[in-house]
A and B are shown apart, each in its own frame.
Chain A
Amino acid sequence: MSVFSFTRFYAVIAKEFVQMRRDRLTFAMVLGIPLLQLVLFGFAINSDPRHLPTALLVQDRGRLSRSIAQAMANSDYFDFEREVSTEEEAHALIERGEAQFVLQVPENFERDVLRGDRPQVLVLADATDPTATNVALGATEKLLSRVLDDELSGPNAWLRSSPPAAVAVVHAAYNPEAVTQYNIVPGLMAVVLTMTLVLITGLAITRESERGTMENLLATPVLPAEVILGKIVPFILVGYVQAGLILIAGRYLFQVPMVGSIPLLLLVTFVFVVANLAVGITFSTLARNQLQAMQMGFFFFLPSILLSGFMFPFRGMPVWAQYLGEVLPITHFLRIVRGILLKGSGLAAIAPEIVPIALFALVALTIGLVRFRRTLD
């Protein structure tokens, strides 16, 4: 009777593995897309920007403030545009895009430093480019500590010790959620998996029909579940190769901090990978040919990128878009990856995000199984 057979299941897996190994295009896609995306998003969004147009708002007339202004003018990171005298002027500059940053040295800065009150230097930032903001913050911190080191000598030398005598604080004008480069690389993991896995499996079944091997396959006792699952399994491995690639690149190329548990992340990745493969396979059963399958893949890919919170802050989207986004597995996986990597979230914290992904996978697989054509009609 129609009982799932592991021998037949394995037959399909083994065959798919061999075919995958011999298919250069798939291979190129598996390795090429993650690398390409990393380069595009990771490097093109310059992770080490310099010469950022910056203005200075000095509200303190001390020697220390002048030294800061001097150090800034000498720094590579900032292109010193001009000095402004009021906060309104500063905001206007940023709004017009003439300056990306305004460094604000508050009133009584020197006095507060000498008192040991640890005053703040405000980095007013146009945070639409979060990477630049990060760099600016880092550069300001360095600059401050150098100036302070130089200036605080003699009787004031005791102020040099940590904690630093003054701190830099970012005040982001736009994009207050401040998606940082640290957000982008983990996000890429979700995007790359969605893109490649849906596309690759999208071709899996239409290819059999187009090459004329479907007739033979259907003439054997193989069951739809054996075909569909057998075609999914080899690509789970592909998903892991890609995830690994991106994690390694994120760690060593982009210095993304990885606070949480990597094993936990890899575990959850399984559910996400299966969900995407299920979508691809389902497209494959719905499409008449490979072109249609590709189109469906892109159709799925677009909202995945736009509505998931990868490109735009999720809470900033209209409500309907948020509802749509909630359906997509990538939305939840993004939260999981960022949660685990950046915030160190544990299983309990991410569990509510796993459930929708698993549900999605289940529904997609069911549709695929039902829609799998058992005859040539």
Chain B
Amino acid sequence: MTGPTAAASVEPIIDVQGLTKSFGTKVVVDAISMKVRPGEIYGFLGPNGSGKTTFLRMLCGLLRPDAGTGTCLGYDILRETREIKRRVGYMTQRFGHYEDLTIRENLEFVARVYGLPRRREVVDEAIERLGLEARQNQLAGTLSGGWKQRLALAACMLHRPQLLLLDEPTAGVDPSARRDFWEEIHQLAAEGLTVMITTHYMDEAERCHRLAYIAYGRLMTEGTVREVVDDAGLVTYLVQGGDQQAIAAALRREEAVQQTVAFGEDLHVSGHDRAALEAALRDALGGDVRWRPIDSGLEDVFISLMRRAEDNFR
């Protein structure tokens, strides 16, 4: 499924095979292999506790894999973690800057730790880009959740990394700031920066060049949005009108119906066998209910993948 689009000559930025990590007896990341190419925005999705954060930590040397090998920016993820750390910008899921330092002090600390030349200018610039000139001397701990995220994002880009590993960077960020963020990410990617980003938002998933979906530590699918949807082989119908609750309950009893997902007024009904699904819909639905086939969306696919993972791996 690794798309044939990119030339094989281009060195992948992330190239790992069979990465595995357990905590105690629990296998949290289970033999995941992955290739990410330069300039790609790579979305990393999966339910809570599926191992996304753990995977990112292994990429940047914060956790030692139990098994597997690979490179990140061409450096061995087991032996050359220091080289990787210098060149990667990692944004942690939980706010990890000093709450008892001001915004400026936090950025200056980061600038010093990466040994950046022209430190003042770099920090000034970052503060300006954040639009936090007026509040640069405010303690980071007193910032609102969204602003903390934006500070963390600015901090991990300060040293102009070649690869960004962003762990839910937009959680709690308002829509307009989120749009600004994605525009900036696309801008940076166009300039050659590679970005791996975890998110639970579907609209963000759709803005990624490529996606991976994991559940229970296993890679369920991988590819462009189109590829992910097509590979799922999911058939979806849109059902409108009638008593949606009752309809959903009735449909779920049908063998051919794999899942029903409510989208406001609408109901998405999905399965894998088009003929059987249509038969089931005809049986179960009365005349006042309208239904028609639609393209499956990412969300339909992800929910289907999650169900399948639950059945197989739990």
A residues neighboring B (CB under 8 Å): 1-2, 5, 7-8, 10-12, 14-15, 18-19, 22-23, 211-222, 375-377
Chain A residues near B110: list those with CB within 8 A.
Answer: 220
Q: What's the Cα separation between A208 and B265 when bound, in Å? A: 48
Chain B residues near A15: list those with CB within 8 A.
Answer: 98, 101, 105, 109
B179 at the interface (CB under 8 A from A): no
Chain B residues near A14: list those with CB within 8 A.
Answer: 108-109, 112
A7 near B112: Cβ-Cβ < 8 Å = yes
Q: A15-B101, A18-B105, A376-B57 are in contact. List 5 more A-B contacts (CB 8 A).
A: A213-B97, A216-B92, A219-B60, A219-B85, A377-B64
B95 at the interface (CB under 8 A from A): yes
B92 near A375: Cβ-Cβ < 8 Å = no
Q: What's the Cα separation between A10 and B90 when bound, in Å? A: 22
Known contacts A19-B101, A213-B97, A215-B94; is A221 also within 8 Å of B112 by CB? no
Q: What's the Cα separation between A377 and B86 when bound, in Å? A: 20
Q: What's the Cα separation between A229 and B112 when bound, in Å? A: 16
A-side binding surface: helix, strand, loop or mixed? Answer: helix
B113 near A213: Cβ-Cβ < 8 Å = no
Min CB–CB distance B38 → chain A (angstroms): 21
In-complex Cβ contact of A376 among B62, B88, B112 (8 A)? B62
- Nearest-CB residue, chain A, relative to B21: A377
B242 at the interface (CB under 8 A from A): no
Min CB–CB distance A320 → chain B (angstroms): 41
30 contacts between A and B (CB under 8 A): A7-B112, A7-B113, A7-B115, A10-B112, A11-B112, A15-B109, A18-B100, A18-B101, A18-B105, A19-B98, A19-B100, A211-B99, A212-B94, A212-B95, A213-B97, A215-B96, A216-B90, A216-B96, A216-B97, A219-B60, A219-B85, A219-B92, A220-B113, A220-B114, A221-B82, A221-B86, A221-B113, A375-B62, A375-B64, A377-B64
In-complex Cβ contact of A8 among B101, B108, B113 (8 A)? B113
B contact residues, total (Cβ < 8 Å)? 28
Q: What's the Cα separation between A213 and B106 when bound, in Å? A: 11
B217 at the interface (CB under 8 A from A): no
Min CB–CB distance B47 → chain A (angstroms): 22
Known contacts A220-B114, A221-B82, A221-B113; is A212 also within 8 Å of B96 by CB? yes
Q: What's the Cα separation between A314 and B239 when bound, in Å? A: 89
Chain B residues near A23: list those with CB within 8 A.
Answer: 100
